[in-house]
Amino acid sequence: MSSVTIHCFEFLKKYRCLLYSPIDCKYRVPSAAPHVDLLQVAVIHPTLQTTGSLKRAEEGRGGGNSRKARSVSDELSRDMSQQMGDSHRRFLQTMMANGIVDEQGARALYQHCCETHSTQCTPDKLDDFIDTINSRLQPMFMQIRKGMSEDNGQQYYALVNMAETNVTRMSSDYADNELELFRKTMDLIVGSENGKASSTDILNSTDTMTAKKLKKSETEHLLNRFVNDKWLNEKRGEYTLSTRCIIEMEPYIRAMYQDQVKVCHICRNIAFQCQICENPACGIKIHNPCVARYFKGRSEPRCPACDDFWPHEIPEVRRPQSRSRR
């Protein structure tokens, strides 16, 4: 080995993917969300059915991939399109490695996978392509589901696990008291008007923990882990649910917080970070990005439900350039 090897690592960075395994060590089955006690959910919520030892959530209502109503002739062509090929497999592997991909990225990936395996790529058929994968994932209680980011209004695709088994629970890297903190954070976020929980409130909530109490430093460290593992987002000391968390847990959130949870008046998805109509008789919620789109170009914004004046600042419609936040 000569001195050139000194540049070896720099070189390796440029010359990536030398191993056959592009999914690397990092790919994962999305673990079931850290706070969910599905046994409980299954009892209180009729849409969650229990099948054997796997408790499976009903397909997420917000997920744009379930197309049940199809005619017989559609069925036939669907059978044809449901053949899974290497392009689908490559797409799925990338989803496994990333967990969540924005719409632009998913389109680019779709094209890339088709080109790599010389199959036809129809740009507006991404959702059909994903349907094909989902039809084969369904028996494994996994699904690629679509949802909107409350930050920028963009669509994202996330690979979610709908099963809670001993197996998926095992992959959860959190101890019981850590899960309890997540649950408390969740309570704070769902109970808030703006879908946020401050670090102070979260720290205070540890006073009422039933499991082994977390110290302040431990709590701070744990919150960082939740952010790193993409369950929470943090901005200036305030925590929100990540897009991935919302997509993955929507059915559970609807079930667990039936009385508190509100849906967006515009897109009908669950709403955390949003604006609220100030008419006490109305009080509908609209996501910030949905507000931006709905009121764009209107001179006097009025509530789409009660027609009262909409008193909040109307945010700008964000162009899908910033691809960083999830």
Partner 1 sequence: MTQRKRLSATQSSSQSRRQTGSLLAQEEDDDSTFTQPSSTQVQRGLEKLTPAQVDQKTAEVVQYFLVKDQKKIPIRRADLVKHVVKEYRNIYPEIMKRAVRIFDQVFGLKLVEIDTKNHMYILVNKLETVEGASPINSPTNPKMGLLFVILSVIFMKGGVVRENLIWNTLKKLRVDPAEKHEEFGDVKRVVTDEFVRQRYLEYVRIPHTEPPEHEFRWGQRADMEVSKAKILEFMGQLHEQDPQSWSQQYREAHSTPSSTQASTSSQR
Residues that bind partner 1 (CB under 8 A): 1-9, 11-13, 15-29, 31, 51-54, 84, 86, 89-90, 92-94, 96-98, 101, 105, 108-109, 111-112, 116-117, 133, 136-137, 139-141, 161, 163, 165-171, 173, 175
Residue 168 C-beta: closest distance to partner 1, Å:
6
What is the per-residue binding string for Zn ion in 247-286, x denoting contact by CB under 5 A? -----------------x-xx---------x-x--x----
CA-based nearest residue to 59, from 73, 70, 49, 71? 49
- For partner 1, the closer of residues 7 and 302 by Cβ is 7
Residue 115 C-beta: closest distance to partner 1, Å:
9
Q: Which does 44 bind (CB under 5 to 8 A by kind): Zn ion, partner 1, none?
A: none
Q: Which of 158, 190, 290, 291 binds Zn ion (CB under 5 A)?
A: 290
Instruction: Give me the amino acid identity at 235.
Output: K
Q: Which does 53 bind (CB under 5 to 8 A by kind): partner 1, Zn ion, none?
A: partner 1
Instruction: Report residue 32 as tokens.
Output: 């079931």
Q: How far apart are CA 237 and CA 114, in angstroms?
A: 43
Asked if 241 touches Zn ion (CB under 5 A), the answer is: no
Q: Which run of H or of E encompasses 219?
A: helix 216-228
- For Zn ion, the closer of residues 38 and 266 by Cβ is 266
Coil, helix or strand at residue 183: helix
Residue 123 C-beta: closest distance to partner 1, Å:
14
The total of other beta-carbon atoms located within 10 Å of residue 324's CB is: 8
With CB under 5 A as the rule, give the number of residues binding Zn ion.
11
Asked if 111 touches Zn ion (CB under 5 A), the answer is: no
Residue 51: beta bridge partners?
54
Coil, helix or strand at residue 184: helix
Opening angle at CA 97, ends 94 and 103, nearest 5: 55
Residue 146: beta bridge partners?
157
Asked if 194 touches Zn ion (CB under 5 A), the answer is: no
Q: Which does 267 bind (CB under 5 to 8 A by kind): Zn ion, partner 1, none?
A: Zn ion
Residue 322 C-beta: closest distance to partner 1, Å:
16
DSSP conformation letters of 33-96 = PTT--HHHHHHH-TTSEEETTEEEPPPPSS-TT------HHHHHHHHHHT---HHHHHHHHHHH
Q: 266 — phi, psi (to 5°)?
A: -90, -55
- For partner 1, the closer of residues 21 and 208 by Cβ is 21
Q: Which does 90 bind (CB under 5 to 8 A by kind): Zn ion, partner 1, none?
A: partner 1
Q: Which does 23 bind (CB under 5 to 8 A by kind): partner 1, Zn ion, none?
A: partner 1
Q: How far apart are CA 53 and CA 324, in angstroms?
A: 38
Quick one: angle between helices 86-98 and 126-137, nearest 10? 80
Q: Which residues bind Zn ion (CB under 5 A)?
A: 264, 266-267, 277, 279, 282, 287, 290, 303, 305-306
